[in-house]
Amino acid sequence: MTRKYSDCFYCGGAVDERLMPRELRWQGQLFIFENVPLGVCTQCGEKFVGPEVAKAIDQVLREKKKPTSMVQVPVYQYEADVV
């Protein structure tokens, strides 16, 4: 089911729906959701999450559902002097 999006709030461009990964932090942890239906501006690339999609993601996190897979992510401390 493809959702209908208004034009981009930032630049006025057309917004199309795409299935994309969405990364978010919640309670100090990083979570990755795959194949999330997002509105993406064809002009500036800004991404939009519909309210029903945001609610579904919140529900998964609140219910602590079992993830489909796990990944390890390297973490680096930024150092301004490393140029």
What's the number of domains the chain is made of?
1
In whole angstroms, what is the distance from residue 46 CA to residue 18 CA? 12
- Domain of residue 24: give its range: 1-83
Kindly state the tokens that stand for 81: 């002097």
Asked whether the predicted pLDDT for residue 17 surpasses 80, the reply is: yes
In whole angstroms, what is the distance from residue 16 CA to residue 83 CA? 39
In whole angstroms, what is the distance from residue 1 CA to residue 37 CA? 9
In whole angstroms, what is the distance from residue 17 CA to residue 23 CA? 17
Q: What CATH number should be reported for the domain holding residue 44?
A: 3.10.20.860
pTM, two decimals, is: 0.81
In whole angstroms, what is the distance from residue 19 CA to residue 81 CA? 38
pLDDT digits (tens, 9 = 90+) for 30-63: 999 999 999 999 999 999 999 999 999 999 999 9
Confidence tier at 14 by pLDDT (50, 70, 90):
very high
Kindly state the tokens that stand for 68: 């489909």
Q: What is the pLDDT at residue 82?
A: 64
Asked whether the predicted pLDDT for residue 21 surpasses 80, the reply is: yes
